[in-house]
Amino acid sequence: MAKHKKREDGLYLRQFSTGKKADGSYIRKSVYAKTQKELEEKYFEAIEGYHLGFSHNIGNTTFANLAEIWLNNQGAGMSEKWNYRQKQVIDNHLLPAIGAVKLKDLKALHLQAIISEKAKAGLATSTMKQIKQTATRIVEMAVNSDLLPKNVFSCVKVPKLEPKEREALDEEQIKMVNETWATHFMGYPTLIMLYCGLRRGEMLALQWRDVDLERDVICVTKAVEFLSNQTTIKPPKSRAGKREVPIPLFLHNVLEQVKGDPNAVVCPNSSGGYMTDSAFSSAWHSYMNHLNLIYGGKNASRSRPKVEVIKQFTPHMLRHTYATMLYDAGVDIKSAQKFLGHANIEMTLSVYTHLTKFKIDGAIESLNTHIAEMGYSGSADDDD
C-alpha cells in the first residue's frame, strides 16, 4: 500500500486525473479519508464511479443518481420506446419513494413497500413485475461494479393479483352513445371504437381513406404510439393487427354524414393533425363531462360539488363491448379473432370463455329467481 502524507487537518489525500483543461493542465479529483486504508478504499471507489459516470463520492450516491447512470448506459443501444417506458417506471414509481435514499442504505424493504403500495392501489401484476425488474437491474449495475456486495432487491416478492374483471357498457350507456354522437366531436370516434372494436391507438391513426363505405370495411393498417407526449405512426404490433373490420349499417349511416377528405385524420386534434396522449385525454374528459351535462349532471361551482348522473366508461371498455356483441351475435371464434386483431386464438378464447361463464352465471341466477317466484324455497314447508 502506497504511503500518503497526512494533512494538517488530519486527513489523507489522494488525487486522480479526469482529463485536461484547455491550457493543457490536468483536471484532478481529490479523495479524502481519515486513515490510509480508508483512503485506498475510497480512491478505488471514486475511480470506479468516475468511469461509470458518477461525478461525486460513491458514499453520497443516491438511488436517483444510480438510476440516471443506468438509464444513460443501458438505454444507449435500446429503442426510444424502451427508454421512454423505463423512464416512466423510474419517474412515476421509484424516484418518488426511494430517489433520495443513499445507495449504501438501500434495503429490500424499500422496494417491498413500493410493491405493497401498488398492490393496494390495484395495479396489475405485470406492472408491479416491471417495477421490480427495473429497480433490480439498476442495483445490479452497482453490484457488478463492486459498489454493493449484493442486490438487495432480488428477494422482493410481487403478489399475483387476479386480473380486473373486464367491463362492457350496459344497454343504457350504449343508448346514450348512440343518441348523442352528433353533439360532441368525440361522438363518432367513440362509435367507431364501439362498433368496430378498434383500439384507441388504431382509431387515432385512422385517415378517411381507411374508411371504405362502398365495401363497408375499415382498413386497419397503422396505430399511433405515444412517446414523451409525441405522436408516432407505426404499423400494428403483429400481423393480425393489420386487418379489415366490417362496418355495421348504423355506423355506415353515421360515417356517411361526417366523412371528410381522404387524407384527413378521422379523429384530429385542433390543428387537424394526430392527437397526442394528453390531447386525447383532454378530449375524452370533455366528452364524458358533455354526456354528464346532457343527462342532467352539473359542473362544480362555488356553492355545490360536481353532480354526476352517468356511469363513466373508458375507450377500452368500448372494445370489450364490441367483443361482447360479437359473442352475443353468435360470431364464430376465428372471425372474432380476425375482427379484434388478436395475435393468437388464445386471447380471443379468454374473452369468449369469460363471457360464457358470465352467461352461465346469469342463467343460473335467472333460474333461481324464477323458481323463487313460483314459491319454492327448498324448505320442508314447501309441501304444506
* End-to-end Cα spacing for the chain: 102
Report the alpha-carbon angle 275-277-278, nearest 5.
95
**What phi, psi does 16 have (nearest 5°)?**
-140, 155
The pLDDT-based confidence of 161 (bands split at 50, 70, 90) is confident
The better pLDDT of the pair 36, 363 is held by: 36
Of the candidate ranges 6-15, 53-62, 185-194, 341-350, the one whose mean pLDDT is the lowest: 53-62
Amino acid (one-letter) located at 287: Y
For domain 171-360, the CATH architecture is: Orthogonal Bundle (1.10)
Q: What's the grid cell of residue 325?
A: 356483441
Q: How much is the pLDDT for 344?
A: 85
Exposure string of 91-127, with b = 16+ CB inside 10 Å and e = fewer, is: eebbbeebbeeebeebeeebbbebbbebbeeebeeee
Q: How much is the pLDDT for 21?
A: 73
pLDDT tens column, 180-202 = 999 999 999 999 999 999 999 99
Of the candidate ranges 2-6, 252-256, 287-291, 375-379, the one whose mean pLDDT is the lowest: 375-379
For domain 63-144, the CATH architecture is: Orthogonal Bundle (1.10)
Above pLDDT 70, what percent of the chain? 83
Amino acid (one-letter) located at 77: G
Average pLDDT over residues 125-137: 94
Q: What's the grid cell of residue 157?
A: 416478492
Q: Provide the 8-state DSSP code for 25.
A: P
- Alpha-carbon torsion, ordered 318, 319, 322, 324, to 10 deg: -100
The pLDDT-based confidence of 250 (bands split at 50, 70, 90) is very high
The pLDDT-based confidence of 371 (bands split at 50, 70, 90) is low
Q: Quote the mean pLDDT of the chain.
A: 85
The better pLDDT of the pair 103, 290 is held by: 290
Q: What's the grid cell of residue 44?
A: 478505488
Q: What's the grid cell of residue 212?
A: 371504405
Q: What's the grid cell of residue 213?
A: 363505405
Q: How much is the pLDDT for 194?
A: 94
| pLDDT > 70? residue 12 | yes
> What are the domain boundaries of the chain?
12-50, 63-144, 171-360
The pLDDT-based confidence of 357 (bands split at 50, 70, 90) is low
Residue reference for cell 442486490: 151
Q: How much is the pLDDT for 28?
A: 76
**What phi, psi does 328 have (nearest 5°)?**
-65, -30
Number of continuous H segments (helices) and E segments (strands) in the chain: 14, 7
Exposure string of 26-62, with b = 16+ CB inside 10 Å and e = fewer, is: eeebebebeeeeebbebbebbeebeebebeeebeebb
- Our measurement of the distance from residue 278's CA atom to the centroid of its chain's CA atoms, rounded to an integer in Å, reads 14
224 touches 276 (CB < 8 A) = no
Average pLDDT over residues 316-342: 89
Average pLDDT over residues 320-339: 88
The better pLDDT of the pair 368, 207 is held by: 207
Exposure string of 169-208, with b = 16+ CB inside 10 Å and e = fewer, is: beeebbebbbebbeebebbbbbbbbbbbbbbbbbbbbbbb
> What is d(CA 379, CA 316) in angstroms, rounded to the nearest whole number?
46
| pLDDT > 70? residue 361 | no
Q: How much is the pLDDT for 363?
A: 52
Residue reference for cell 359473442: 327
Of 253, 244, 258, 248, nearest in space to 195 by CA: 248
Q: How far is CA 125 from CA 104, 116, 118, in A?
A: 29, 11, 9
| pLDDT > 70? residue 19 | no
The strand pairing partners of 19, in sequence order, are: 27
193 touches 203 (CB < 8 A) = yes
Average pLDDT over residues 99-123: 92
Grouping H, G, I as helix, E, B as strand and the rest as coil, residue 271 is coil
Q: How much is the pLDDT for 90?
A: 95
Q: How much is the pLDDT for 265?
A: 96
Burial of residue 248 (CB within 10 Å: 0-12, 13-18, 19+) is middle
> What is d(CA 24, CA 343) in angstroms, rounded to the nearest whole number?
61
Amino acid (one-letter) located at 343: A
Burial of residue 251 (CB within 10 Å: 0-12, 13-18, 19+) is buried
Q: How much is the pLDDT for 20?
A: 67
The better pLDDT of the pair 262, 373 is held by: 262
The better pLDDT of the pair 361, 16 is held by: 16
